[in-house]
Structure 1
Amino acid sequence: MPRPDPVRVAALVGNPRSGSRTLAAAAALARTLAVRLDPTAAAAGPASVVDLATLAPALHAQPRTPDLDAALRAVADADVLVVATPVHKASFTGLLKSFLDLYGPDGLAGAVAVPLVVSASAAHALVGEVHLRPVLVELGATVPTRSLTLLDAELADVAPVVERWWQRAEDPLRRAVGADRTRALEVAR
């Protein structure tokens, strides 16, 4: 059986501040997932990162800009998609919602999504589960794990928190990515 293509990992960051700590955490998680899920993916290059802060003016432009179309494709084409947001008004950001609204039904079908929420308070630990997960599932993504919530105090060194999350997330993520990749190979035959 031929070896499938490397796992394509992307991060979508809904923080309205360009170069945010949410962006750094999402990029770090995407790199970690790429290496752990498929060591050949790391050799293929860095994970794709879409920083919506740089695309905000294009979200409502008509016609769509080439940069926005490229970002929409990069996110939809990901095998594994980290969807990162800071908590805003006890939910995810409007910027992220505006971007996700550009997809039609099943626009993220085939993607295995990992919600990543950055919060100042542990009281918002369920934002990813209650608000973000249903939107991702509605768009056709598979969300096999609990969201990863990082507190502001943990952003200086996300590795220990990611490692604790990985202990529970590894098996369901591997199954979801493996099942999707096997199904894609069967369709290609």
Structure 2
Amino acid sequence: MATVLSVSGSPSATSRTARLLRHLDRRLTAQGHRVTPLDVRTLPAEALLLADFGHPAIVRATALFAQADGIVIGTPVYKAAYSGLLKSLLDLLPQYALVGKTVLPLATGGTTAHVLAIDYALRPVLASMGPAHITPGWFTLDKDITVGEDGTASLAPGAAEGLARVTDQFSAALGGRTTALAATG
């Protein structure tokens, strides 16, 4: 199966975005994919802010992008756009870092007023990086993500069904087997 890089662009250690991605990662793993998580917040801030392309952590992150068949990009929405943290990483990647890749954009936010951030802010940047395919994205309201005592996310039924659908479309585009919505929603 495919190798998937699951990238969280949230600056928060208790991020709902990262937890949503780990939820999605489990579904992709169950479908036979090898998933590697990357929380951008764990990369050195100085390397990101000073655009240190040669920093070992940035070189490793760039290599993860190069090795992946598919990339899931998750971000919280701030000021109707994806996070500045994610932007700082995308700016350090080679111009065509996504050539030949299948990409799934995801976003989380507090209000439906930000639902278009995927299509009007994130998708154009991802498209400029040359992916083979950007699958339909998904926006999840913060209130639809509940974090359990063990730190795992559970989703409201409508959000779970929508996320399962776009995850399965992404998996199918990678050549993976898809799971029935009710099985792991």
TM-score (norm 2): 0.78
Corresponding pairs, count: 166
State whether structure 2 residue 47 is matched by structure 1 residue 58: yes
Q: Deviations over 1:19-77 (max 9, x none)?
A: 422111112212313333xx2x3xx5xx2111111113321264632122111211232
Aligned residues of 1:13 and 1:85 also touching (Cα < 8 A)? yes
Which residue does the alignment assign to 1:49?
37
Query: How much does 1:143 deviate?
Result: 4.1
* Secondary structure class of the residue paired with 1:83: strand
Which residue does the alignment assign to 1:186?
none
Instruction: Give the alignment's Cα RMSD to 1 decimal.
Output: 2.3
Give the number of the structure with larger relative contact order, counting CA–CA contacts within 8 Å between residues 6 or more apart.
Answer: 2
Which residue does the alignment assign to 1:167?
165
Q: 1:168 to 1:87 in 2, by over 3 A?
A: closer
Query: How much does 1:150 deviate?
Result: 0.8
Give the letter aligned to residue 37 of structure 2.
V
Q: Comparing both structures, which one devotes a greater share of its residues to helix?
A: 1
Gaps of 5+ in 2: 147-153, 176-185
Which residue does the alignment assign to 2:181?
none
TM-score (norm 1): 0.77
Distance across 2 between alignment mates of 1:75 and 1:19: 24
Q: 1:153 aligns with which of 130, 136, 143?
A: 143
Which residue does the alignment assign to 1:126?
116
Q: Comparing both structures, which one devotes a greater share of its residues to strand?
A: 2
Distance across 1 between alignment mates of 2:156 and 2:4: 18
Aligned residues of 1:145 and 1:172 also touching (Cα < 8 A)? yes
State whether structure 2 residue 19 is matched by structure 1 residue 24: yes
Distance across 1 between alignment mates of 2:77 and 2:8: 12
* Secondary structure class of the residue paired with 2:81: coil
State whether structure 2 residue 74 is matched by structure 1 residue 84: yes
Distance across 2 between alignment mates of 1:19 and 1:75: 24
Q: Identity over aligned residues, as a percent?
A: 34
Distance across 1 between alignment mates of 2:167 and 2:98: 20
Query: How much does 1:14 deviate?
Result: 0.9
Gaps of 5+ in 1: 1-5, 179-189
Aligned residues of 1:7 and 1:34 also touching (Cα < 8 A)? no
